[in-house]
Amino acid sequence: MNNNDLRGIIFSFFRTTPHKQCQNCKVVIMWNQKKILHKFIEWNNFINCNECYKFNFFKSLNDRLFLSNYYL
């Protein structure tokens, strides 16, 4: 039952690269069009999972608020 040719044919049908992947943490967001693994934010070429988006958004927001209070 050790047929390498058959094993190669069967494994060739599996997807090796994800359909969509987070640009920051590289977590797989979608394997197929219908299978969503994590919630995500997508714009033109911008794809982030919710965790990375929240972290980066609030980080930049806090930096701006801190700088605005610093210069007042």
pLDDT digits (tens, 9 = 90+) for 11-48: 878 777 778 889 889 898 888 888 888 888 888 888 89
The pLDDT score that the predictor gives to residue 69 is: 56
pTM over cut 0.75: no
The pLDDT score that the predictor gives to residue 57 is: 78
30, 20 contact by CB (below 8 A): yes
CA distance 2 to 15: 23
CA distance 67 to 72: 9
CA distances (Å), origin 33, targets 37, 44, 70: 11, 17, 46
CA distance 32 to 14: 11
* Domain spans in the chain, listed from the N-terminal domain onward: 18-70
